[in-house]
Structure 1
Amino acid sequence: MTRIAVGGFLHETNTFAPTKATFADFQHGGGWPAMTEGADVLKVMRRINVGLAGFVDAADANGWGLIPTIACGASPSAHVTEDAFERIVTVMVDGIAAAGPLDAVYLDLHGAMVTEHLDDGEGEILRRVRGVIGKNVPLVVSLDLHANVTPEMVAHADALIAYRTYPHVDMAETGRACARHLALLLKTRQPLAKAFRQLPFLIAISWQCTNDFPTKGIYDKLAALESDAVPTLSFAPGFPAADFHDCGPSVFAYGVTQDDADRAADAIVKLIESHEDDFDGKIWSPDEGIRHAMELAKSATKPIIIADTQDNPGAGGDSDTTGMLRALVRNKASAATGVIYDPVSAKAAHAAGVGTTVTLSLGGKSGIPGDEPYTETFIVEKLSDGRFVAPGPYYGGREMEMGPSAALRIGDVRVVVSSHKAQLADQAMYRYVGIEPTEQAILVNKSSVHFRADFEPIAEKLMICAAPGAMPADTATLPWTRLRPGIRLKPNGPAFNPPSR
């Protein structure tokens, strides 16, 4: 039987964000399944939209024997603590070392992890795994579309394969793609040539959506370039909030010959660079956006849906800023918004009970400049223990654990408040506290793009607003200090010059 060690360790690091990722955050998961080790990994990682789950399904079909190590993820945030990284990687690497003779290793990683002690978390993981398995055992890795791929990652892996959708509805499919590629390597026993290119400008996450031009066309072309000569080709637009040398978009190809790999990679790079002007769009201020949404809602038959993009917990925000809530109330909108992460307020709402009024200092606790707690009196409309299933295309049936939660109302604005944070990317994240999203005039979601997978079908119009938050919609406004010299801070933006010491 073919024996393959597997594991997963995912984190998207915003080095400008207010809160670090601790070991406890990975134990909980925060939108990812809770941490599992050993045989439990294969029980949890099935029939959900996660790379490792897709690989497990394909391994079963191929009759492969899997040796699971550890699987975990945490909500995007600032750096992964050294303690968390070392504890998790030790379990993974020791598990691989103890597995005995292996035919291959598959890992489900993010590709944009920065730790307290390492710029390139995934490069270090792959270096340690390669040190255990030797140079001849195939090592294949699935990556997030937002990976900031580094030369070390490319050097240590036989193949890196990135998601192709944002919203990420193909995470499990990417795991299956890794299985297909690994089957090829096991059959031919021949390594493939690698080509790796880094692009010359950062791309804000709001303009990476693969439902839209130009990204959709780029991925269509990328798929068309794959062949027997180029079994896999990836474009990672990158996560543009990690202040280190290799932050940014990249292309990586694997070919039967070096010329095959180089030609495919260069063709995609040329296409991406030709669309530099198109990676941009309209961003509304909070009041401007709310007033426009209210006007649209007068004749709409479906909700107007706004992305509160700068407080997206899927990009390192704490999901607790109040700028959009204030704009909704100030403009007397009829709307629902969420999820505001505030365990203290959620606890107070539970203590007060349904139907009561409660005065809270809601949200605003992460220290974002221009933001502060919103002190007002709210009506408690519904309470929840925070446990529910998110069946939409992004979460893909994951069991969610948001902790004690509440639906609060002020005027005609309803607010989802939780005790754990996760990106509002599923309609169930309103319904679990009794708010029916399809019946709202306006929805304001703390998300950038992932919400579109489940909300686009019920939306009259989608908009993006920028209230104060940890993930600026304009990447050129971040206080960069360590990028590689010359990379443009946004499409057609200024080139980065390292500050003089």
Structure 2
Amino acid sequence: MKVIIGGLYHESNTFNPFPTHADDFVLAEGDDVFERVCSTNVFKEAGVTVVPTIYATALSSGVVTEKAYRFFADKMLDVIKNEADIDGIWLHLHGSMTVENVGSGELQLLKEMREIVGFDIPISLTLDIHGNNSIELNKYANIIRAYRTVPHTDQCETEVITAELLVDVIQTKQNVSPAYVQLPMIISGEQALGDQEPLKSIFNKLYEIEQIDGIASASFFIGFSWADTIDSAASVIVVPQTEKDAPIAEEQANSLAEYIYSKRNDFQFDAIALPPADAIEKAISHQTSPVFISDSGDNTTGGGVGIYTGLLRSFLNLKDLNNKKVCISAIFDPDAYDTCKEYNIGDKVSIDVGTNFDEHSKSVKVEGTLKAKGDLLGYLGGTSDRVGKTCTISVGDIDVVIANKGHSFITLNHFKSAGLDINDYDVIVVKQGYLFPELSKISKLDLLALTPGATYQLLEKLDFKSIQRPMFPLDK
């Protein structure tokens, strides 16, 4: 057996006005792909010859340019064109990659692959639970499975499962087609956490469905709420074990969809959601530390830009911090960074921070001492994925991190690589929504500041134009 493997992963926020280019991705090619995925051992243990293409991934950001999509897609397609006797294709995609002039990047990629290999070769997909799946997706992929954790900690486990399912359908020569149901609802990612209801019970139901004879896999896709596309919606996908099990999969998909839709009003914020001024007041009055404030409208892990200065301005204007030490991480302003990097640690610094792109990114004067210079790490916080640089300026008890890229500090390593000790702070502002596991573990209080931006939590206030209607909660 011979299987082609690869990955092209991006969550595209259509409310982010800045497009995503090829150089915004981290790219692995050839044998380096094997180190990026967990499916390799499954295939090798089954005696499968594994042919790598690419593994390209970028932090959530604006719509992917057609040129960038073409660059990565052609690399993958060229490998497929040059390989004979392919038995299967295994891919790790996102599900919410929007490409300019194209639409769904995942659907387009699969269509182009099918033009090469036809429809007798099974394709297996690992997808993010926040995927906005096209209603045509199940026509082009045989196996589709979503992560089952939020925040995501089971990508590797899901890759293993989709690899095992692919080996199974190759060996049994089953040309299965997943059952798909789209739900007329979108859910903010911060209202659907895996250890909270109703998502916790929905996950349990998925496991129950997978115990039914004839069912290979069941998935619930929360969807990605900050994408104004025809595909933006929650969905369920159930994969049958054999072709004759298709009616069972269809029945279970419809039943699952009805169950989830009945829970639509139960999705609520886990963290305390407050207007920005109230979040700051509550943070500095809290007795234990650290307290995390999520600048949720400028959440760079959800495609926010990272340039908004509202919370920075509010903290700098406070007359009394209640003896709290504050860290604001990290304002994306390449010009401010370029100015700051010319100073030495310990120097007095006076610069304007803020790109003035819009009213929310108005510049503010930051006068203090250059405290640290460091690296800006990528999404997973690995030191091998340095994506930019940072400078930190101390203004009294407030440390302001300035970055030359729009990324979020989501792990302890992000702070360490920036030259900071997270234990120094009582209040920490981060450009994200829900806290990622390492930060959540040490947090004494999570506050969700309902700030404006490309990842505004109040979905009803976003200017949706392309999304299907009616759609909950936009239409009651």
- Range of TM-score over shorter length: over 0.9
- Is the CA contact (8 Å cut-off) linking 2:142 and 2:177 kept in structure 1? no
1:392-407 equivalences under 5 Å are 395=380, 397=382, 399-407=384-392
For 2:6 and 2:358, locate their aligned partners in 1 and report how far apart those are by CA, in whole Å: 35
Post-superposition offset of 1:306: 1.6
Deviations 1:74-129 (A, max 9, x none): 22222111111112111111211111111110111111111111121111100111
- Unpaired runs of 5+ in structure 2? none
Partner of 1:19: 18
Map Cα deviations across residues 408-440 of structure 1 (whole Å, 9 max, x no partner). 212211122222232321111112223222342
Alignment check: 8 A CA contact 1:310 1:467 kept: yes
2: CA distance between counterparts of 1:322 and 1:60? 50
Change (3 A) 1:415 1:212: farther
Say whether residues 1:473 and 2:450 are aligned partners: no
> What is aligned with 1:238?
223
The offset of 1:350, in angstroms, is: 2.2
Q: Which amino acid aligns with 1:233?
A: A
Look up the SS of the partner of 1:283 in the other structure: strand
1:243, CA displacement in angstroms?
1.6
Please tell me whether the aligned partners of residues 297 and 452 of structure 2 are also in contact (alpha carbons under 8 angstroms). Answer: yes
Code of the residue aligned with 2:373 in structure 1: it is L
TM-score (norm: length of structure 1): 0.88
Alignment correspondent of 1:141: 125
The question of 1:272 aligning with 2:260 is answered yes
| Corresponding residue for residue 415 of structure 1 | 400
Residue aligning to 1:31: none
| Between 250-259 and 122-131, the greater mean CA deviation after superposition | 250-259
Separation of aligned partners in 2, 1:100 and 1:374: 59
- Which of 66, 71, 84 is the aligned partner of 2:55? 71
Q: Tell whether the 8 Å contact from 1:312 to 1:447 is kept in structure 2 after alignment.
A: yes
Residue deviations 1:12-52 (CA, integer Å, cap 9, x gap): 111111210112212xxxxxxx212233323x42xxxxxxx
**For 2:98, what is the secondary structure of its paired residue?**
coil
Distance (Å, rounded) in 2 between the aligned partners of 1:396 and 1:423? 10
- State how far apart, in whole Å, the 1-side matches of 2:217 and 2:359 are: 43
Match of 1:115 in 2: 99
Q: How big is each residue's C-alpha offset from its partner over 1:295-317, in whole Å with a ceiling of 9 and x where there is no partner?
A: 21xx21x3111211111112221
Q: Where does residue 9 of structure 2 map in the other structure?
A: 10
Q: If the length of structure 2 is used for normalisation, what is the TM-score? A: 0.93
Correspondence 1:98-247 to 2 at 5 A: 98-227=82-211, 228-247=213-232
2:31 maps to which of 26, 39, 46: 39
8 A contact 2:332–2:404 mirrored in 1: yes
Greater Cα offset, 457-466 or 427-436: 427-436
Choose the corresponding residue for 1:375, options 351, 359, 365. 365
Q: How does 1:251-290 map to 2 (within 5 A)?
A: 251-256=236-241, 257-281=245-269, 282-290=272-280
SS in 1 for 2:385: strand
* Structure 2 CA distance for aligned equivalents of residues 204 and 362 of structure 1: 30
Deviates more, 1:336-345 or 1:308-317: 336-345
Aligned to 1:341: 332
Q: Superposed, which structure 2 residues align to 1:488-499 within 5 Å?
A: 488=472, 490=473, 493-494=474-475
Whole-Å separation in 1 of the counterparts to 2:151 and 2:429: 17
CA distance in 1: counterparts of 2:119 and 2:75, whole angstroms: 21
Q: 2:354 aligns with which of 326, 344, 363?
A: 363
Q: Indicate the residue corresponding to 1:499 in structure 2.
A: none
How many equivalent residue pairs? 466
Aligned to 2:443: 459
How far apart are residue 387 of structure 1 and its match?
6.5
**1:225–1:368 CA distance, 2 compared to 1 (3 A):** farther
**Higher mean C-alpha displacement, 59-68 vs 173-182:** 59-68
**Residue type at the aligned position of 2:343:** A
Distance 2:274 2:448 in 1: 6
Alpha-carbon distance change, 352 to 102 in structure 1, aligned in 2, over 3 angstroms: same
* Structure 2 letter corresponding to 1:348: T
The unaligned stretches of length 5 or more in structure 1 are: 27-33, 46-52, 496-501
Look up the equivalent residue of 1:379 and give its one-letter code.
T
Q: Aligned partners of 2:301 and 2:175: how far apart in 1? A: 35
Q: Deviations over 1:138-180 (max 9, x none)?
A: 1001111110001221110001111111211111221111112
The alignment-based identity, stated in percent, is 26
CA RMSD of aligned residues (A): 1.9
Counterpart mapping for 1:45-64 below 5 A: 45=36, 53-64=37-48
Asked if 1 retains the 8 angstrom alpha-carbon contact of 2:92 and 2:125, the reply is yes
| CA–CA separation in structure 2 for the residues paired with 1:77 and 1:375 | 27
